[in-house]
Amino acid sequence: MKTKVVIVVTVLILLGGFVIARTETHRWHRGFGHRGWHHGPVGYVARELKLTDTQTQQIRAIWERERPAVSELAKQFADENRAMNAATAKGVVDDAEASRIANLQGATLAQLILEKERLKAKIYAEVLSQEQRDRANVLLARWQSHIDQLGR
């Protein structure tokens, strides 16, 4: 059970890191384009919700305000991951130290999830129309279905 949780958490973190890295790469190399974030997972959601240019700018502003907190937590998690790698180096696991670090990582991950939910709530409340909220709920249900499939 513990192994499954670690695997799922690792996959989610890697996926989140991939999304952030991809967004940052496009920001530096291609900009946001004429319609905003039009590449990758963020672009998919923007297209599915039919975001206007104004809405895209509002979301970008919300993200820019939240980015420092998320970046700090991501840095903290990366530091904890390095510590975990050191605690399990060469196939030798210091159970006490690995457990301590896993607890720290769990707390950091919980904070990251809360930040994500706050960001999502702000976007729902401040940016999306009711029709877009309904569509977003459909997308979230579809995503949950995919996550449910991972557990089977």
Query: Is the model's pLDDT at 88 over the cut of 80?
Result: yes
Cβ(96)–Cβ(114) below 8 Å = no
Cβ(140)–Cβ(116) below 8 Å = no
Inter-helix orientation angle 53-87/2-29, to 10°:
130
Per-residue model confidence (pLDDT) at position 20:
60
Buried b (16+ CB within 10 A) or exposed e, 111-140: bbeebeeebeebbeeebbeeebeebbeeee
Query: Is the model's pLDDT at 27 over the cut of 70?
Result: no
Cα separation, 16 vs 20, whole angstroms:
6
| Better-scored residue on pLDDT, 32 or 69 | 69
Model pLDDT for residues 76-85, shown as the tens digit of each residue:
999 999 999 9
What's the pTM value of the predicted model, to 2 decimals? 0.67
Query: Is the model's pLDDT at 72 over the cut of 70?
Result: yes
pLDDT band of 152, cuts 50, 70, 90: confident
